[in-house]
Amino acid sequence: MADAADFRISTFAKPPQWATGTMYQIFPDRFAKAIERPAPAWARPAAWDDPVIGEGPDTPRQWYGGDLDGITEHLDDIASLGVGTIYLTPFFPAESNHRYNASTFSKVDPLLGGDEAMARLAAAAHAHDIRLMGDLTTNHGGDTHEWFQAALAIRTRRK
């Protein structure tokens, strides 16, 4: 059977100019820490100079405590690289350092400084003519997310 119909050429409008410039991806927990916060219950606290755990069950639990104010403090350095957009990995509350298992998408993780720290970062970034882009991972909600909990409650009632 011919596979000619399996492939298609797709064309789209060009992205906006700002999206073709230099982007800088930041994993907040590992970038910079401005405020010392107590480690959450799920975390395995790490000193800033500790090596990163690259694999195994403690990988998502290794917590350095980086925050959004730490990023704000380094915007001059980021701007000096010619960065036009900062791409932030997930910043929603979660029980992991990577935050791909968010418990909600309606607020910024307090461990990162919360909504107020995001507002400070956004204002400072825009003052540097830098855009912010967030990794919205609605397909990665964790088992503590309200949607998961609602589905679990429905399943439990059906039993």
For the chain, percent of residues with pLDDT exceeding 70: 94
User: What pLDDT score does 92 carry?
Assistant: 94
Q: Considering the domain boundaries, does residue 10 fall inside one?
A: no
User: What pLDDT score does 38 carry?
Assistant: 96
Distance CA 126, CA 32 (A): 19
pLDDT in tens, 75-92: 999 999 999 999 999 999
pLDDT at 95 over 70: yes
Q: Considering the domain boundaries, does residue 112 fall inside one?
A: yes
pLDDT at 155 over 70: no
Q: Residue 140 sits in which domain range?
A: 21-158
Q: Considering the domain boundaries, does residue 50 fall inside one?
A: yes
User: What pLDDT score does 140 carry?
Assistant: 67
User: What pLDDT score does 9 carry?
Assistant: 81
pLDDT, average across residues 145-157:
74
Q: Considering the domain boundaries, does residue 1 fall inside one?
A: no
CA atoms within 13 A on the CB side of 99: 27
Q: Considering the domain boundaries, does residue 78 fall inside one?
A: yes
Distance CA 111, CA 94 (A): 10
11 pLDDT tier (thresholds 50, 70, 90):
confident
Q: Considering the domain boundaries, does residue 109 fall inside one?
A: yes
Q: Considering the domain boundaries, does residue 7 fall inside one?
A: no
Q: Considering the domain boundaries, does residue 83 fall inside one?
A: yes
SS3 70: helix
Distance CA 149, CA 143 (A): 7
| Number of domains present in the structure of the chain | 1
Look up the CATH number of the domain holding residue 90.
3.20.20.80
